[in-house]
Chain A
Amino acid sequence: MISAAFLAVIILLALLVPWLSPYGTGQASDFQFSAPDRQHWFGTDVHGRDVFTRVFAGARISLLVGAVGTAVSLVIGVFWGMVAGYVGGRLDGVLMRAVDVLYSLPSIVFVIVLITTLEGHVKRWIGAWAPDWVPAARMLFLFTGLGAVSWLTMARIVRGQVLSLRTRPFVLASQSLGASHRRILLRHILPNVTGVVIVYLTLTVPAIILYESFLSYLGLGIQPPDASLGTLIAEGAAQINPLRVFWWLIVCPGAVLTFTLLALNFLGDGLRDALDPRDG
């Protein structure tokens, strides 16, 4: 409950702060590296930008990437797993071996190739239709790239569930009543895997946010002047030197990222404990 409330607060802040803040997210000022005080709650960075505003604008992007990336992985994973588990036999073997193969491919190679390949094609395509949207295209690659590497576990979990559901009496009953496969899958099996899927979803969101911050650290993620929490931390880490310590540049975005991930994980754990029949 606390974690859900905390998450709601973060989301609200992420939505409201960049909008209500007296400073623009990219607005530079003369006050470089000023420590946190009453005017700049999280201090300012190398260009004198207000870190508080930037952190929550970054949180907004991180959460967006996490949510949409998870949605992509949800659609692929659930579809893949349901078909494999329900049809079974040879198709199941082929589909799950494909998952095994993708598991053994280092995901970073896959993501880099996917992002750069898409970039070439999609940018040209979008540039022809709506040139204003080219920067937003980057987000699109991130969504698909992150979703595309995160659906594997989801597919395995869903398949496992469907395998046992397939032989339950209520599925056999509707089969013998002549229900179509589509109807059985959508009306009978899908609702029964929802619980497990939701639990795993809440654990996928933090994983994807973390992966995005890693990609941003590599320079493959969000491009400046936009920033995610990951890029902010990477910027802060670049400023570390033995002479002067600008701790707020790394601690503030790091703390917001950590607390967000913590809340998501707690939420997932809580949901799992609540839905797990073994613990009374």
Chain B
Amino acid sequence: MYFLRRLLFLLPLTLLIITLAFFLVRIAPGGPFDRERSPASPAVERALAERYHLNESLLSQYLRFLGLKWERQPDGSWKRASGGLITGDLGLSLKYRNHSVSDIIRQGLPVSLALGGTAFLFALGFGIPMGFYTAVRRGQTGDWMGSLVALVVLCVPGFVIGPVLILLLALKAGWFPVGLWGTASHGVLPMATLGLYFGGRVARLTREGMGQALQSEFVRTAQAKGVSAAGVLLRHALPLGLMPVVSYSGPMLADLLTGSFVVENIFQIPGIGVFMVNSSLSRDYTMVVGLVLLYALLLLLLNLGVDLAYSLLDPRVRHE
């Protein structure tokens, strides 16, 4: 019941977010047809604005975007303008003319999904063992060293790790291709660049969660009734210790799957992360709104999934 209500609540929330994005990008000064060099003549610009309905009032543009715009036909009857969000049409990109926003997303999304998905697995594979180890060795040298590594990967920006990895592993050692996208070996360096930061976060969360789990009473009970040390750690403490990671994995996945500007830019990967930044910079209104819609939907759905997983993993959590 609780989840059904949240699922229903998702629609107005998403609508609110994209409405916000819709007006936000249009309020910003400048327009999609501005160019620094050889600006188009005013007549051409007017024609472009008319073609993409940018000459209409904001409200009218918004209605058209939603697909709720009714136009008067030459014969006097009223007809709904074609397209719009309710038909699943996000419109044409203003920068890549003749390409619809959905097409661009459809082309880039699989790449970003593959890269983000592997980076997610990388982050978990790196972070959970690391956090587990540091929590078990709390206060010892191993804890100190592991926590330092986790912090270092958190503090080095991706645009430092990326070029350094390229320099060492691609140019010097020649193990991996320098950039581009295609075979599995193309994906290794971008995956590591993208995943390391999140791996550091996962490691810290795991350490925190494990630390709390190890102090709780049921762990002491398990120890007292003679469960082996490994059994206590793996069977009793770990599931609870991973709860912070579970709740972080929703936003983390949303961030990873919608692509990363830095990584896609460094390795020249044709994903959608680059579009997120470039479209806001070049005022590609339709593109921005489309990408925001994608991100928001993904984030909200994943957060819902996380809460669902939460109540399955931890029976103490009850949703009224």
Contacts and interface: CB of A to CB of B under 8 A. Distances in A.
B280 A104 contact: no
A217 B276 CA distance: 15
Given A105-B21, A116-B28, A230 B157 contact: yes
A113 B25 contact: yes
B291 interface: yes
Interface string A245-271: 100001000100110011001100000
Given A113-B25, A120-B29, A258-B156, A265 B151 contact: yes
A116 B30 contact: yes
B277 interface: yes
Contacts of B258: 106
Given A112-B277, A240-B166, A233 B155 contact: no
B308 interface: no
Nearest to A242: B171
* Shortest 9 CB-CB contacts between residues of A and residues of B: A261-B155, A120-B29, A112-B280, A104-B296, A237-B163, A113-B28, A117-B28, A254-B160, A109-B280
Interface string A45-82: 00000000000000000000000000000000000000
17 contacts: A101-B13, A101-B17, A104-B17, A105-B296, A108-B277, A108-B280, A109-B25, A113-B28, A116-B30, A119-B29, A210-B155, A237-B160, A237-B162, A242-B171, A245-B167, A258-B155, A265-B151
A261 B266 CA distance: 23
B300 A104 contact: yes
Per DSSP, chain A at the interface is helix
Contacts of B156: 254, 258
A257 B154 CA distance: 12
A117 B157 contact: no
Pick the most buried of A108, A113, A119, A240: most chain B CB atoms within 10 A of its CB.
Answer: A113
A100 interface: yes
B17 A278 contact: no
Nearest to A264: B155
Nearest to A104: B296
Interface in B142-187: 151-152, 154-157, 159-160, 162-164, 166-167, 171
A206 interface: yes
B157 A233 contact: yes
A27 B194 CA distance: 36
Contacts, number: 105
A120 B31 CA distance: 13
Nearest to A217: B159
Nearest to A259: B155
B242 to A, nearest CB: 19
Interface of A: 100-101, 103-106, 108-110, 112-113, 116-117, 119-121, 206, 210, 213-214, 217-218, 230, 233-234, 237, 240, 242, 245, 250, 254, 257-258, 261-262, 265-266, 278
B299 interface: yes
A214 B157 contact: yes
A96 B160 CA distance: 36
B288 interface: yes
B29 A214 contact: no
B292 interface: yes
B95 to A, nearest CB: 15
Nearest to A230: B157
Given A104-B17, A258-B155, A258-B156, A113 B295 contact: no
Interface in B25-80: 25, 27-30
Nearest to B156: A258
B276 A108 contact: yes
B157 A213 contact: yes
A119 B281 CA distance: 13
Nearest to B295: A106
Contact of A109 (B151, B162, B276): B276
Given A106-B258, A106-B292, 16 more contacts: A101-B17, A104-B295, A106-B295, A109-B288, A109-B292, A112-B280, A112-B281, A113-B24, A113-B25, A116-B30, A119-B29, A237-B162, A237-B163, A250-B163, A258-B152, A266-B151
Nearest to A260: B155
Contacts of A217: 157, 159, 262
Interface string B83-107: 0000000000000000000000000
Contacts of A250: 160, 163-164
Contacts of B159: 213-214, 217, 233-234, 237
A210 B201 CA distance: 15
B101 to A, nearest CB: 14
Nearest to B13: A101
B16 interface: yes
B133 interface: no
B81 interface: no
Contacts of A108: 261, 276-277, 280
Contacts of B20: 101, 105
Contacts of A266: 151
Pick the most buried of B21, B24, B159: most chain A CB atoms within 10 A of its CB.
Answer: B159
B24 A106 contact: no
A227 to B, nearest CB: 15
